[in-house]
Structure 1
């Protein structure tokens, strides 16, 4: 299941991170920690940082540099209206796709 999980996460990780940011602003390490706390242990920190660069470039988040007690300022990411719209589309697509996939599962409903 490891390889399939990794491949499926690649396609959905942006939506997952946007969902996390819909709750509260966060910086990269906080996002990685939240992911791991929710069972996404296999996601590397570098993957999260690369994704944050992409969502920033796409204009889905606002970024504020906040002073840190240790080292350079942290980039805190906040979901903006464009990101909220992208997240809503992600959830619509997720529901549609998961329903279609589940309909193909011969094991579904066999309880």
Structure 2
């Protein structure tokens, strides 16, 4: 429903409801300590299971060839890749067995 379609009384009632909501605190989900093991998602369990069947397999690898038009500056590439890894926890996540069950652990930002 568009705001313009509301009557003056409806707009005033909506405004009062919205004003009344200001200042209400939102409940936040506490962050898990990075040292804690977390259960795997269903998709992660699937990856773990396939790795158990075919250790070090290339099931999810995607081959790629790049043609560079300029000389590779390895230190610049390394800094760029490290920054991407720093920003994305999923690239720092590893699977381990804990009490015979798969869990995930996220490494710290220093890589």
TM range (shorter): under 0.3
Which structure has the highest helix share of the two? 1
Higher relative contact order (CA 8 A, sep 6+): 2
